[in-house]
Amino acid sequence: MAERTHVTLQDVARAAAVSPATASRVLNGTAKVRDDLRERVQDAAGRLAYAPNAHAQALAGASRPTVGVICHDVSDPYFAVIARGIMRVAGDNGLLVMLASTFRDADREVAYVSMLRAQRAPAILLIGSGFEDKTWERSLAAELGPYLRGGGRVAVVSRHRSLRVDSVLPENRAGAAALANALLEMGHRRFAVLAGPRALTTVADRIAGFRSALAGAGVPLSEEDIVECGFTRDGGYAGMSSLIDRGMRATCVFAVTDVMAIGALTALRDKGLSVPGDVSVAGFDDIPIVRDLTPPLTTVALPLEQLGEQAMELALRENSGRRSRIVRVEGRVVIRESTGRVRS
């Protein structure tokens, strides 16, 4: 019952009757070693179930290729799909990926970045809109800055630009505007919006785009038409419910994310309203599940997996210039059955 007693390279070397240097060379294939010695080392390593100490390896110069990805919640399909894109590219480049969820807790986010920095991870990817919270951004920047200066790579997806790092940014404004125009074309004139926290830049941008397109058609969107609710399925459910309860007059509801739209659809069903008969619903993101809803959701399709791929590639490719790179990604309006023409 040996507690915390690890087999070291020394042990292997001793068992194989060679020097640690030779053992290291064999185990890493760093240099040619005489056949019999090599076999003795491999044998000993196997017999002793030797596992190199990554900390010692890292300290001695060899870097272990594990990149870190930090998001708000891995159980949100939006992140999950992006993460998959990241992992694809990482895998192609022989990198392992580890994910962390912050649950929108600034301290936890900083803790993860700090840990990744301390571990000398070759790259850190941040997914998801940050609050426009100066303190938050500052403490994050305080970690990220030195990390970058130390040779680390950072890329973010869909985060506010105040962090001056390479980023992949969805065209939230334009996408929401295009959606608004499509809905206008169907004859809708009275809208309601299920918004997540307005402080989230993603939310703010989508609302702004939506509103400006409406304004272009002379259709107003007042603050009362916007319900600020949780950025989740339950938030969408609650928001939609309260909208119905206070006598909604809108013919179309825009939920700023698909996840929220899902909650909205269920709320409507529970209240006995039909979609799109009584009210049309549209979302944003095009997460995979929305195709399986009844009715399938009209939304703005973001190439989510690509967002992740681009971010990983950004982190992989060295930035030669001094400015941070920005990749803009467009959304595409996808009309499905959750929206319909307004009966005249």
Partner DNA sequence: CCTGGAATAGAAAGCGCTTTCAGAAAGCGC
Partner DNA sequence: GCGCTTTCTGAAAGCGCTTTCTATTCCAGG
- Could you tell me if 258 and 283 are in contact, meaning their C-beta atoms sit under 8 angstroms apart? yes
Residues 302-331 touching its own copies, rule: CB under 8 A, are none
Site size for DNA, by CB under 7 A? 28
Binding string, 124-163, against DNA, x = CB under 7 A? ----------------------------------------
What binding mask, one character per residue, do residues 91-130 give for its own copies by CB under 8 A, x or -?
A: x----xxxxxx-x----x--xx-xx-xxxx----------
**Furthest-apart CA pair in the chain: how many Å?**
90
Contact 304, 320 (CB under 8 A): no
- Under the binding rule (CB under 7 A), the answer on residue 47 touching DNA is no
Instruction: Quickly tell me which residue has 């240097």 as its tokens.
Output: 21
Omega before 52 cis (within 30°)?
no
Distance CA 333, CA 181 (A): 10
3-state secondary structure of 246: coil
Q: How many CB atoms lie within 10 A of CB 241?
A: 19
* 53 is a site residue for its own copies (CB under 8 A): yes
From the list 46-54, 188-196, 298-306, 308-316, the region that binds DNA by CB under 7 A is: 46-54
First to last CA, the chain: 80
Decide: is 233 part of the binding site for its own copies (CB under 8 A). yes
Tell me the C-alpha distance between 263 and 96, whole Å: 35
Residue 240's nearest CA partner among 206, 179, 198, 283 is 283
Query: Is residue 59 part of the contact set for its own copies (CB under 8 A)?
Result: yes
- Residues 2-41 within binding reach of DNA (CB under 7 A): 6, 8-10, 18-22, 24-25, 27-28, 30-34, 37
- Report how far residue 43's alpha carbon sits from residue 36's, in angstroms, rounded to the nearest whole number: 10
Contacts with DNA, residue ranges (CB under 7 A)? 6, 8-10, 18-22, 24-25, 27-28, 30-34, 37, 50, 52-53, 56-57, 59-62
- What residues line the site for its own copies (CB under 8 A)? 2-7, 49, 51-59, 64, 66, 68, 73-75, 77, 80-81, 83-84, 87, 91, 96-101, 103, 108, 111-112, 114-115, 117-120, 142-143, 145-147, 149-151, 233, 262-263, 265-266, 269, 288-289, 291-294
